[in-house]
Amino acid sequence: MKKYILAAAGLVFGTVLVWLLFRKADWGEVFAVIRGISLPWLALAHIPLLLAFPFRVQRWSYIVRAAQPVSFRKMFSATQIGFLANFVLPGRAGEAIRALVLTRLTDIKFSKSFAFVALDRVTDLFGLITVIAVSIVAFRPTGGVSISPDTFGTTNPITFTNRQYQMGAIGAGAFLFVVLTTFVLLYVRRAFVLRRVRAVLGVASPKLAEYVAGMLDHFADGLHVFRSPGDMFKAVLWSFLTWSVGMISMVCLLEAFAIDYPWYTPFVSQALLAVFIAAPNTPGFVGQFHVPIVLALVMTIPSIDTDAAKAYAIVFHLMQLPPVGILGAYCLMREHMGLLQLQSEGEERSQRHE
């Protein structure tokens, strides 16, 4: 029942976002902008986009090999199937499915596989925090931020003072830093963190306290990568490379649309996109992907035509779909697995915390 509720909520959320963003769009102008795109730049934008897939696998390999060596093929299959699941299934099912596929293809226990997936997200935070930090330092609008009425079809522009923008950006960065610090402390002061969790949550519910402490204890078992500074450094380095190729792809697409942009636009775009897609996902990230991209463009390029920004967001989203769908489907067939069956088993194992 829960997954159906999540699916319905995601569908409603995505529908609302699409309606808000595109209800007043001039579709003739949107398609005219798309037809005028530079095909060489568009083709070039796909190269770094495709590189991001093996880069993610390479980053994860330095975590997983702390338990045992795993072939690139098996890790690629687990990563791509999980990626596909995140695009088409509700509730971030792809994270549990990636762990389950790794467990099926190796003899690594599911609890460890799930911890390795979580730890991969932690190393990903190093890149994200850097992107947010650069965005905060570089994008400092002196007169505040104004979102044109054409963006969401509102009567008046949506405005934020410079202080409101800075506080929001700093708050997001601080939250990620706290999360990252908590994970590190869980490794270096495991017993202390578990005691604190039991003490704080135990006031509200001893059962909840034990449940959360048990989850963190399982997760701490997977933090083997911190025992190898070299592997940790390599995982973080590949995190930076993964985020970099994503922004290079954005730059190429901006050039394809002949958009005149400041150098920090890709950083702000990546930061906003990461914040938006961190929420429970809409089907295919429709709407959830487009809104932050358009917001980043109209915020950092006040003179941009909103229809051009929406055309850019549509094309950038469509670029993601073929590689995710084709590679994910190919890996499912190669490993003789079914996505819905993986979803059901992943939910069952997650609940048992095997």
- pLDDT tens digit string along 43-98? 999 999 999 999 999 999 988 887 788 999 999 999 999 999 988 887 678 888 99
- In angstroms, what CA-CA distances link 153 with 99, 119, 157, 158, 305? 42, 41, 9, 11, 13
The share of the chain scoring above pLDDT 90, in percent, equals 40
User: Is pLDDT above 80 for 307?
Assistant: yes
Give the DSSP H/E element, type plus range, for residue 158.
Answer: strand 158-160
pLDDT tens readout for residues 99-152: 999 999 998 888 888 888 888 888 888 888 889 888 888 888 877 777 888 888
* Cross-strand bridge partners of residue 146: 159
pLDDT of residue 1: 55
- Dist. CA 293–CA 265, nearest whole Å: 10
pLDDT tens readout for residues 223-252: 656 666 788 888 889 999 999 999 999 999
Give the DSSP H/E element, type plus range, for residue 235.
Answer: helix 229-256
Write the single-letter amino acid at 45. Answer: A
User: Is pLDDT above 90 for 216?
Assistant: no
Percentages of the chain per state (helix, strand, coil), in multiples of 5: 80, 0, 20
- Dist. CA 101–CA 53, nearest whole Å: 17
Q: Where are the beta strands (DSSP E) in 101-157?
A: 145-147
- Dist. CA 50–CA 285, nearest whole Å: 18
Q: In terms of residues, how long is the chain?
A: 354
pLDDT of residue 225: 64
Q: Are 308 and 33 in contact (CB under 8 A)?
A: yes
- Dist. CA 111–CA 99, nearest whole Å: 8
For 159, phi then psi, to 5°, come to -120, 145
pLDDT tens readout for residues 134-144: 888 888 887 77
Burial classification of residue 79, based on how many CB atoms lie within 10 Å of its CB (0-12 exposed, 13-18 middle, 19 or more buried): buried
Q: Which residue has the tokens 């003789």?
A: 336
pLDDT of residue 256: 97
Nearest by Cα to 335 from 28, 101, 23, 18: 101
Query: What average pLDDT does this structure show over 318-335?
Result: 94
Nearest by Cα to 335 from 61, 100, 68, 89: 100
The share of the chain scoring above pLDDT 70, in percent, equals 92
* Cross-strand bridge partners of residue 159: 146
* Cross-strand bridge partners of residue 145: 160
Identify the residue with better confidence: 4 or 327. 327
Q: Are 335 and 105 in contact (CB under 8 A)?
A: yes
Full residue range of the structural domain in which residue 240 is found: 2-352
Kindly state the tokens that stand for 303: 């003179």
Query: Which three-class secondary structure state does DSSP give residue 189?
Result: coil
pLDDT of residue 224: 59
End-to-end CA distance of the chain: 22
- Dist. CA 232–CA 301, nearest whole Å: 37
Give the DSSP H/E element, type plus range, for residue 160.
Answer: strand 158-160
For 305, phi then psi, to 5°, come to -75, 130
Query: What average pLDDT does this structure show over 265-270?
Result: 94
Identify the residue with better confidence: 325 or 197. 325
Query: What average pLDDT does this structure show over 200-205?
Result: 82
